[in-house]
Amino acid sequence: MKFKIAASIFSASFKTLGYLFLFLLLGLFLDSYYMAEIYSNTQLLTNIIVLIGFAVLYFNSSVKVRKLMVYATIIGAVGEYLFSILLGMYAYRLNTVPLYVPLGHAIVYVSTVYFCKKPIIKVYKKQIEKIFTIAILIYSSLFLIFANDIFGFVMSMAVLYLLRNKPRERLFFLSMYVAVAVLEIIGTSFQCWAWPDTSFGVIPFLKSANPPSGISLVYFLLDLGTLWIYKQRHRTAWARMKSVRRLREQ
């Protein structure tokens, strides 16, 4: 019985986050310094692949999810140009923001939403939250010990602290932390982008790894911003959903 449950959870994870990680691995490898030595315009290949992936996900999603994807892409683009180009807090390989990056933000966001909506994931929500929390503690501690990642550790602890009284949002943001951690490790390993050795290159006493372990805290702004835009543009639908949720809880 336990094996069947574990297999079901693995299957649900692979069909959402697993596909996401394989997709990211392929796309980011094409934009890596390995490929750049072979073909000078590798970033174009990544842009095309991510655009196709975005389109497939978009046209196979509900109207609500499509809108969330558009909002996430817009916020992602604005945030990337603000933090990377204008403020210089991190840098991409060609010192610009590739097209695939804001599209990738939307793909990561929606993949995490789909993971959290899987029936088997909902049933074992508490157990998965505990596993993710332990994994985050171990991951951020290892980065702190072996990479002097003070900045990442502080942000990781901030994530867990902010989620302590947020049972409804906890699984989504813990899952997002995991997804972003994998994304950052792949991207920085392939040298698609790089983080400075201190907090955004601004706070010298907050030493940082490349990538900082808790950088998902910054990605949460994307999630909150996307949801805020949706609420503002669809007030009636949002109020109706909240009413239904309150009735279920009663």
Position 233 scores a pLDDT of 79
Is residue 216 within 8 A of residue 180, CB to CB? The reply is yes
Q: Does 244 reside within a domain?
A: no
What distance in Å separates the CA atoms of residue 115 and residue 148, rounded to the nearest whole number? 32
pLDDT above 60 for 187: yes
Determine the average pLDDT of the residues in 2-20: 87
Q: Does 245 reside within a domain?
A: no
What distance in Å separates the CA atoms of residue 5 and residue 124, rounded to the nearest whole number? 9
For 157-178, write each residue's pLDDT tens digit. Answer: 999 999 998 898 899 999 999 9
Q: Does 151 reside within a domain?
A: yes
Q: Does 143 reside within a domain?
A: yes
Q: Does 231 reside within a domain?
A: yes
Q: Does 24 reside within a domain?
A: yes
Is residue 31 within 8 A of residue 98, CB to CB? The reply is yes
Percent of the chain with pLDDT over 70: 94
Q: What is the mean pLDDT of the chain?
A: 89
Domain of residue 17: give its range: 2-239
Position 127 scores a pLDDT of 95
What distance in Å separates the CA atoms of residue 46 and residue 43, rounded to the nearest whole number? 5
Confidence of residue 249 (pLDDT cuts 50, 70, 90): low
Q: How many domains does the chain have?
A: 1
Q: Does 246 reside within a domain?
A: no
Residue in the structure block whose two tokens are 């796309």 = 27
